[in-house]
Amino acid sequence: MTTYLEDELRAHGVNLQKSTKVVALKGENVVTHIVTDKEEVQVDLVILATGVRPNTAFLKDSGIEMLGNGAIVVDNEGKTSIANIYAAGDCATVPHLLKETPAYIPLATSANKLGRIVGENLGGNTMSFEGTLGSSCIKVMDIEAGRTGLSEEEAKRMNLDYKTVYIVDKNQTDYYPGQESIAIKLIYDSATKVILGGQVVGKKDAVQRTNVIAAAIYAKMTTKQLGMLDLCYAPPFARTWDALNVAGNVAK
């Protein structure tokens, strides 16, 4: 699915280099050049995106249970392994709807939900988080992309007996301006056809369709049910069979 995003970047004149290693940043006071294992490039600005790591080193002797990367392990109520200590957000794990083990998915969505739950529980109520699906989305130039649930790689790592379906359809009717291609991938259980994950890429309404897949996973829907799900249709928004209906029906 990322090929669409890479093509979009290149179409906008971005020199995308995926297998290049940055070995040095050069300049006096400000960075003027980056040195890679292939060349030296003059730059105006450098943005380093090196991933996310919980800032929890100060807890290393506390005995609190953490993942290998330092994420504090919490249960569905935000409780840590130490009584009366709760955690939520980028410093902590988040329960996953489809995984037995706590996940590290640092997103504002689950940080906020777990934060509210921790607040409620500290205030004397009992609230529990059912679990994340790792739903997330991005816009790259003019293209939207979203993912939810398990990726194929995750299903493989979990040794699940899964199948995938991949379709390229249209976001709406052709007689209303704005028709664009939309690509959908579903990951589902081979035997039960219950949907486990989905990804959508396209110029219009890809992310909102990802949200529909998230709701379908939450409701343990099958691909067959998605195929007949009563989704909206009017020319500016979909075709009579929405692209998600098509994906559900193509899945065998």
Ligand X SMILES: Cc1cc2nc3c(=O)[nH]c(=O)nc-3n(C[C@H](O)[C@H](O)[C@H](O)COP(=O)(O)OP(=O)(O)OC[C@H]3O[C@@H](n4cnc5c(N)ncnc54)[C@H](O)[C@@H]3O)c2cc1C
Are the C-beta atoms of 214 and 202 separated by less than 8 Å? no
Q: Does 107 bind ligand X (CB under 6 A)?
A: yes
Interface mask toward ligand X for 54-83; x: CB under 6 A:
-x----------------------------
H-only helix segments in 12-147: 108-122
Residue placing its CB nearer to ligand X in the complex, 38 or 53: 53
Q: Does 146 bind ligand X (CB under 6 A)?
A: no
Residue placing its CB nearer to ligand X in the complex, 91 or 127: 91
Q: Strand runs (DSSP E) across 52-161, as ranges?
A: 136-140, 143-149
Which of 54, 89, 146, 149 touches ligand X by CB under 6 A?
89
Instruction: Give the nearest distance from C-beta 15 to ligand X in angstroms.
Output: 22
Q: Give the residue from 145, 143, 126 showing the smallest Cα distance to 135.
A: 145
Q: Does 140 bind ligand X (CB under 6 A)?
A: no
Instruction: Give the nearest distance from C-beta 52 to ligand X in angstroms.
Output: 7
| Cα–Cα distance for residue pair 214/129, rounded to 1 Å | 16
> How far is Cα of residue 52 from the mean position of the Cα atoms in its chain?
15
Which helix (H) or strand (E) segment holds residue 247: the answer is helix 243-250
Q: Does 108 bind ligand X (CB under 6 A)?
A: yes
Which of 82, 111, 127, 229 touches ligand X by CB under 6 A?
111
Q: Which two tokens stand for residue 7?
A: 């093509």
Residue placing its CB nearer to ligand X in the complex, 94 or 251: 94
Of 61-69, 102-110, 176-184, 237-245, the segment contacting ligand X by CB under 6 A is 102-110
Residue with nearest beta carbon to ligand X: 89
Instruction: Give the nearest distance from C-beta 235 to ligand X in angstroms.
Output: 31
Residue placing its CB nearer to ligand X in the complex, 66 or 246: 66
Are the C-beta atoms of 244 and 202 separated by less than 8 Å? no
Instruction: Give the nearest distance from C-beta 188 to ligand X in angstroms.
Output: 25
Dump the DSSP string for 194-239. BEEEEEEEESSSHHHHHHHHHHHHHTT-BHHHHHH------TTT--
Q: Give the residue from 197, 244, 9, 209 showing the smallest Cα distance to 96.
A: 197
| Cα–Cα distance for residue pair 239/235, rounded to 1 Å | 6
Instruction: Give the nearest distance from C-beta 109 to ligand X in angstroms.
Output: 5
Residue placing its CB nearer to ligand X in the complex, 88 or 195: 88
Chain residues in the site for ligand X (CB under 6 A): 55, 89-90, 106-109, 111
